[in-house]
Amino acid sequence: MLLRAEALACIRAERLLFSGLSFASEPGCAVGLTGPNGVGKSSLLRLIAGLLPVHAGRLALTGSATGPVIAGSDHEVPLGQYCHYLGHRDALKPSMSVMETLDFWQAFLAPSPPHSIQPAQPDICGPRAGAMSGTAAQSESVPAESVPAESSPMTALSCDTALDRVGLAHLADLSCQLLSAGQRRRLTLARLLVVARPLWLLDEPTTALDSAGQDVLWQLCTHHLVHGGVIMVATHAALPVPNTPLALDRGHA
Partner 1 sequence: MSGWIALLKRDVMLASRLGGGGFVGVIFFLSLVVLAPFALGPDLNLLARVGPALLWIAALLATLIGLDRLFQADEEDGSLDLMRMGDMPMLLVVLAKGIAHWLTTGLPLTLAAPVLGLLLAIEPKVLGVVMLSLVIGTPALTFIGAVGAALTVSVRRGGLLLAVIVMPMMIPVMIFGVATASAAASDMMDFTTPLMVLAGLSLGSIVVASLIAALALSEAS
Q: Which stretch binds partner 1 (CB under 8 A): 90-98, 114-122, 221-229, 233-241?
A: 90-98
The SS3 of residue 201 is strand
Q: Say how far apart CA 223 and CA 61 lie, in whole Å.
A: 19
Q: How does 1-15 read in b/e, with b if 16+ C-beta sit within 10 Å?
A: bbbebeebbbbeeee
Closest distance to partner 1 from the beta carbon of 172 (Å):
16
For residue 13, the one-letter residue type is: A
C-alpha triplet 188, 96, 100: angle, nearest 5°: 70
Site string (104-143) toward partner 1, x via CB under 8 A: xx-xxxxxxx------------------------------
Closest distance to partner 1 from the beta carbon of 177 (Å):
9
Chain CA centroid to CA 170, Å: 25
Number of chain residues interacting with partner 1 (CB under 8 A)? 32
Q: Which stretch binds partner 1 (CB under 8 A): 26-34, 56-64, 95-103, 222-230?
A: 95-103
* Burial (0-12, 13-18, 19+ Cβ within 10 Å), 85: buried
Site string (23-62) toward partner 1, x via CB under 8 A: -----------------------x--xxxxx---------
**Interface with partner 1, residue 178, by CB under 8 A:** no
Closest distance to partner 1 from the beta carbon of 50 (Å):
6
Q: How does 44-60 read in b/e, with b if 16+ C-beta sit within 10 Å?
A: bbbbbbbebebbbbbbb
Q: Which of 50, 45, 52 shows the shortest CA–CA distance to 23?
A: 45
Q: Residue from 4, 24, 58, 100 that binds partner 1 (CB under 8 A)? A: 100
Q: Which stretch binds partner 1 (CB under 8 A): 21-29, 55-63, 85-93, 223-231?
A: 85-93
Residues in contact with partner 1 by the rule CB under 8 A: 46, 49-53, 78, 80-81, 83, 85, 87-96, 100, 103-105, 107-113
